[in-house]
Amino acid sequence: ARLTKCKYLAGDYLSLADLNHVSTTLCLGATPHASLFDAYPHVKAWWTDLLAKPSVQKVAALMKPSS
């Protein structure tokens, strides 16, 4: 419900509240349940916005399993 009123979890600015969810949300996105985001458009928009940030992209790259 929070993301229906604000762009980010703690308001209209990126904060530790959002960054705290990055690793967990990245892991969820790597499961068969990733399509859950489609049922929650505000969550999907929030996540898409976070993934566009270079710092989150760097974390995502570091979390990929090595081959």
- As a whole number of angstroms, the distance between CA 16 and CA 34 comes to 23
Owning domain of residue 27: 2-61
- Say which CATH number the domain at 12 has: 1.20.1050.10
Residue 67 lies in a domain: no
> What is the tens place of the pLDDT at every residue in 13-65?
999 999 999 999 999 988 999 999 999 999 999 999 999 999 999 999 998 77
Give the amino acid at 40. Y
**Does residue 27 sit within a domain?**
yes
Residue 22 tokens read as 């990055």
Quick check: is 54 in a domain?
yes
Instruction: Flag whether 66 is in a domain.
Output: no
- Domain for residue 26, yes or no? yes
Report the domain count for the chain.
1
Nearest one of 36, 35, 46, 33 to 2, comparing CA atoms:
46
Kindly state whether residue 19 falls inside one of the protein's structural domains.
yes
